[in-house]
Amino acid sequence: MSESESGTAGVTFAEKAQFELLCLANHVEAINGLLYMTGGGWTEHHRPPLQPNGSTTISHIGIAVMVRIPWNETNRPHRFQVEIQDLDGASVLKVEGDLNVGRPAQIVPGTAQHACLAINGELAFLRGGGYVLRGVLNGEAATLRTWEFRVYDVPTMPTQPQQL
């Protein structure tokens, strides 16, 4: 049977899964194959002041992920790793998992699929400065996608003694 008879004409079998989207947001949800982001695409985070006891304040962040899975890569697991590192390479957050995207019965042969992931977390950024969000698929360096951002300290207002 030829490629045109099997319905796979035009499919490039060398294609690999890749990140279509990897970015930061205030909050992310993935519902029915759609990504819902609040405050998506930020590159500057203003870290809240330290707690009165001196401990670091927790920041809520979301990570929006969309992976394109070519026709020939469907129906098999794909390992993903999403990590936030400081500029010294120290890991602040690391999430790993597997994706396995199938082919719906009525899909046109050769059509790529998309997997949407929403990762939300509570982080303590121990210091201000540069950070990078990194995503890798199947451990392959060629799939690396990055998103750089900076964390700034919110200045605290000096407390004034109360006047009577």
Closest CA to 18 of 66, 84, 85: 66
Q: Average pLDDT, stretch 62-82? A: 96
In tens, the pLDDT along 10-64 reads: 555 678 999 999 999 999 999 999 999 999 999 999 987 777 787 888 899 999 9
pLDDT for the residue numbered 3: 46
Q: pTM here? A: 0.84
What is the topology classification, in CATH, of domain 14-47+55-151? Answer: Immunoglobulin-like (2.60.40)
Parse the chain into domains and list their residue ranges: 14-47+55-151
In tens, the pLDDT along 114-156 reads: 999 999 999 999 889 999 999 999 999 999 999 999 999 887 6
Q: Which residues contact 106 (CB under 8 A, 6 or more apart)?
A: none
3-state helix, strand, coil in the chain (%, to 5): 5, 55, 45
